[in-house]
Structures are given as C-alpha cells and as structure tokens.
Amino acid sequence: MKLFHYEQKLCDSFLLYLLQSLMAVRKVRCPQCGEDALWAPENPHRPFCSLRCKQIDLGCWASDEYRIPVAPDNNDLGSEIPDATNHA
Ligand SMILES: [Zn+2]
C-alpha cells in the first residue's frame, strides 16, 4: 500500500517533468506581442500566438513603414519648374 503510493507519486512527478519539457519545446515567443505562443499543429498562426498578431505583423510589412522610400514626385516637380519658366 505504502509502496504503491510511492510509485504512484514517482510516476506523477515523471509525467509532470515530461509534460513540462514537452511544453517548453512547444512554446515560442510571439514576435508581435512577446507572449508565449504554442508551436504546434493546433496553432496555425505560429510563430505568432494568435491570428490578430499575425495580421498586425503582415500589416506592418505592407505599410509604408517597411517600404524603401522613393521620391519620383520631387523629380517631376523639379523638371516642371524650368519648363514653366520657359513658357513665361
Ligand atoms: Zn502575440
């Protein structure tokens, strides 16, 4: 009876250790919010923690913040000024 209890306890702690090590491997840090994100087939948005974070990140890449700045308008304006003076 006493032995059984000890073995049961040992088994529980081993399972807990196994579960914890498994959880540690399957968790990553969400690149968007820094929260723990599940790295598993259950999380289709990995490495993000949720669809919201995934969409925010994709939105950033599509926005002007991440684009290489190009200024074709300035060139057009520059060529228009001498043209206007020629007419006048
Ligand atoms: Zn997140």
CA 55 / ligand 1 centre spacing (Å)? 10
Let me know if residue 45 belongs to a domain.
yes
CA 81 / ligand 1 centre spacing (Å)? 50
DSSP 3-state of 85 = helix
pTM, rounded to two decimals: 0.42
Q: Which of 13, 51, 10 is nearest to 32 (CA)?
A: 51
Can you list the alpha helix ranges (DSSP code H) found in 1-88?
Answer: 2-25, 51-62, 72-87
- Tell me the average pLDDT across 71-81: 57
Let me know if residue 57 belongs to a domain.
yes
Cα gap 27→63, rounded to integer Å: 29
pLDDT (tens digit per residue) in 36-70: 999 888 899 999 999 999 998 877 666 555 555 56
Q: Which residues surround ligand 1, an ion (CB under 5 A)?
A: 30, 32-33, 35, 49, 53
Let me know if residue 61 belongs to a domain.
yes
Q: How confident is the model at residue 85 (pLDDT cuts 50, 70, 90)?
A: low
CA 16 / ligand 1 centre spacing (Å)? 26
Number of domains present in the structure of the chain: 1
Let me know if residue 40 belongs to a domain.
yes
Count CA atoms closer than 13 A to 44's CA, side-chain side: 2
Let me know if residue 32 belongs to a domain.
yes
